[in-house]
């Protein structure tokens, strides 16, 4: 059991992400609090995040295209089903 430094709730160790610099190897705040913190940062820094993502894409375009293609080939049925569900959902709302 470990206590989150943000929400002050004791949680099991599997509720914390890893961080090698810490003595116990885990972050000081839980995954839920970390997700909330990341979401708030992205909302407050939209331009900075967009520029960073764009730069990363440009720097790693070749690798990312190969990975995206491999993912699509491995999950074509799942992706197709998701697109169909979204299409029918939009069609019903029109």
DSSP H helices, the chain, are: 31-44, 46-59, 61-74, 76-93
pLDDT at 62 over 90: yes
What are the C-alpha distances in Å from 46 to residues 7, 14, 18, 25, 51? 26, 31, 26, 31, 9
pLDDT of residue 94: 61
pLDDT band at 48 (very low <50, low <70, confident <90, very high): very high
Residue with tokens 């995040």: 49
Instruction: Report the percentage of the chain scoring pLDDT > 70.
Output: 98
Give the global pTM: 0.66
Mean pLDDT of the region 49-60: 97
């Amino acid at each position: 059991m470990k206590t989150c430094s943000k929400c002050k709730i004791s949680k099991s160790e599997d509720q914390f992400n890893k961080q090698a610099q810490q003595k116990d190897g885990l972050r000081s705040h839980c995954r839920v609090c970390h997700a909330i913190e990341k979401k708030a940062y992205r909302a407050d820094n939209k331009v900075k995040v967009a520029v960073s993502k764009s730069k990363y894409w440009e720097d790693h375009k070749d690798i990312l295209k190969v990975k995206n293609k491999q993912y699509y080939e491995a999950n074509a049925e799942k992706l197709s089903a998701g697109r169909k569900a979204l299409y029918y959902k939009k069609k019903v709302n029109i």
